[in-house]
Amino acid sequence: MASPLAGTRCLVTGAGGFLGQRIVQLLLEEEDLEEINVMDKTLSADLLGLCEQFKGRTSVKILQGDIRDEEFVQHCCRSVDTVIHTAAVIDTVGKVPSETLLAINVTGTEKLLDACLQNNVRYFIFTSSVEVVGPNTRGDLPMDGEDEQVYEDKFLSPYGESKRLAEQSVLRANGLALGGGGKLVTCSLRPMYIYGEGSQFLELHLQQAIKNGHVFSRLSRKEALVNPVYVGNAAWAHILAARTMRNPDHAKMIAGNAYFVSDDTPHMSYSDLNQALGEELGLSVEPRLALPLGLLYCAAFVLEVLRFLLKPFFRYVPPFTRHLLLLLNTPSTFSYKKAQRDMGYRPRYSWEESRQRTRAWMATVLAKRREQPKKSK
């Protein structure tokens, strides 16, 4: 039986990223594509090796460039019918100037949408974020939130604001007329915090834990329950969205809609997720925050004032911000029932399999770190 995306030409932006690379892998393994275009500013050796592995079965085009380059974006969209747009800058502490965030995450998305309209690209899937609905200045994210959750008026995070503006552009573009006839079909997927093998955030936490005697720093209260999603399941949701869009009987269900993407990972705090993934490797987590949350919040405010005062002289990036503290310490869980109803989404990987895969990768990272001192001798 032919795969649902057989014969299609697909463009994946941000293909060199953590999620983008897993989407490319699933497309190459599961679908008989006619061609896949992988686009990013930087392409890893792992991604290039993966593309080379499947080159005999699927035509692979490597596109290296900047999404802010309009001519390059137009070139990327020629002769494709589906775009999966994961390219974005993720920043939770203000390392990246807000102008750059907006230029890449918002204007870049709008340029890509315009290129789709001009080049008759029929289907557009956008990787959004749970941060499009908060946390706001009150820090009140919902428990078991549904996809109809409204946008908040205020953000402490330029990143969350940029993803919200980009998502609004994507959903407004649904139904617009294509240059060659027909209409554009769009949807937005909002993954929770994504974990799994290859996660830069998890690798950073691992490195810090090693320096701290194999103990993760506690960044979130135990009661701040969230529901992270495994990278394989987040990628799988994108594949199912692409399949659903091409099914005339189901396309109307998904068109112009946004979907939270979670899985069956147990509800726990971000810090306790680190422990759950690493405890069999001899890793643990600190029992409590370094200071009461109120004091940390005040310290973050002082650091942000310092950043403002130093701005005329140099760019100071504080180690944490009020937004980051809210994000890490606000209980918030979201349901994937709407994605299950409209596109048949179910987690492809169980919690146990997700944990095993992530733990195996963490073990290799730890082994490499242990080898480094030997090599230096």
Catalytic residues: 163
Going by C-alpha positions, the residue among 133, 124, 224 that lies closest to residue 170 is 124
Contact 122, 182 (CB under 8 A): yes
What count of residues does the chain have?
Answer: 377
The encoded tokens of residue 109 equal 């998305």
d(CA 50, CA 44): 10
Mention every residue, 6+ apart, whose C-beta is less than 8 A from residue 148.
none
- The strand pairing partners of 3, in sequence order, are none
Mention every residue, 6+ apart, whose C-beta is less than 8 A from residue 327.
92, 131, 135, 157
Contact 86, 26 (CB under 8 A): no
* DSSP sequence for 200-241: HHHHHHHHHHHHTTSEEPP-S-TT--B--EEHHHHHHHHHHH
3-state secondary structure of 350: coil
Angle at alpha carbon of residue 317, lines to 311 and 318, rounded to 5°: 115
- The strand pairing partners of 332, in sequence order, are 226
Largest Cα span, the chain:
66
Q: Name the residue type at position 98.
A: S
Pseudo-torsion of CA 99, 102, 103, 107, nearest 10°?
-150
Contact 339, 146 (CB under 8 A): no
3-state secondary structure of 295: helix
